[in-house]
Amino acid sequence: MIRLENITKVFNQGTVNETTALRGINLHVREGDFITIVGSNGAGKTTLFNTIAGTYFPTGGEIYFNNINVTKMPEYKRAKFIGRIFQDPLLGTASNMSLEDNMMICYKKGFKGLKISLNNKMREKFREELKLLDMGLEDRMEHNLQLFSGGQRQALTLLMTVISHPDLILLDEHTAALDPKNAALILDLTDRFITEKKLTAMMITHNMSHAIKYGNRILMMHKGEIVLDIEGEEKKNLTVDGLVKKFYDVKHEELTNDELLMSHE
């Protein structure tokens, strides 16, 4: 479905601030893959998403979507088939609009070209979908989103992303700004949506146990490279200690990032 061939990304090339964020990434994401991604700060995880989404063009290499070369396709065009969720709950939804208006925008995105407007039938549909979140939001459809909590906003962003039927969902530490209870709730919701609707998704997390628990495939990134790519039975049987050991076996380096190692749980 998505193929990255020898992707490199160099920032500020030729200056004293030159940084190589991606070093020859080769990756084939298959339809239905739910890939979790871990790696220390600065490993290139967000840059990988930015190159897939077209926020930046790579310095070298090619990107294919269903065998179409999209390497130079601008971000707004790719946004039609890529849904992206960020750490900040305020980014996914429009604060000054009501919940139902926000949902309507997503619907229109999901059913391209279909002439639909907000009527009672649509409202009933939204109500049913909001019930899936189990937060009582189905009774607050006329409220402006600025009245909702971070956890509620992130749950809505997730729901609306799913409604818009993207071919690929990119989640970049989308629970990191939430308290532990809401983070767990959003994570379970994410897993439920992706699994039940058989979506293709990539999820960055700094929590290694979450990365192991969710998805069918785990990538570890380190200094701009994918150093581990584990799936199937091997992924199912993985433990945090096992992951740390595998990293050592390939890199002959200890994992040093505190954030990554402290999030054992």
Ligand X SMILES: Nc1ncnc2c1ncn2[C@@H]1O[C@H](COP(=O)(O)OP(=O)(O)O)[C@@H](O)[C@H]1O
Residue numbers of the site for ligand X (CB under 6 A)? Answer: 11-12, 19, 21, 39, 41-47
Q: What is the total residue count of the chain? A: 265
Mode of pairing for the β-strands spanning 19-29 and 2-11: antiparallel
CA distance 149 to 89: 9
The residue at minimum Cβ distance from Mg ion is 46
CB of 94 to ligand X, least distance (A): 25
Closest CA to 36 of 135, 176, 172, 240: 172
Q: Which does 47 bind (CB under 5 to 8 A by kind): Mg ion, ligand X, none?
A: ligand X
Q: Looking at beta carbons only, is 15 or 67 nearer to ligand X?
A: 15
Q: Looking at beta carbons only, is 164 or 222 nearer to Mg ion?
A: 222
Which residues of the chain form contacts with Mg ion (CB under 5 A)?
A: 45-46
Following DSSP, what letter does each residue of 6-40 receive, concatenated?
EEEEEESTTSTT-EEEEEEEEEEEPTT-EEEEEE-
C-alpha torsion angle, residues 187, 143, 101, 186 (rounded to 10): 0
CB of 148 to Mg ion, least distance (A): 25
CB of 176 to Mg ion, least distance (A): 9
Q: Which does 57 bind (CB under 5 to 8 A by kind): ligand X, Mg ion, none?
A: none
CB of 265 to ligand X, least distance (A): 20
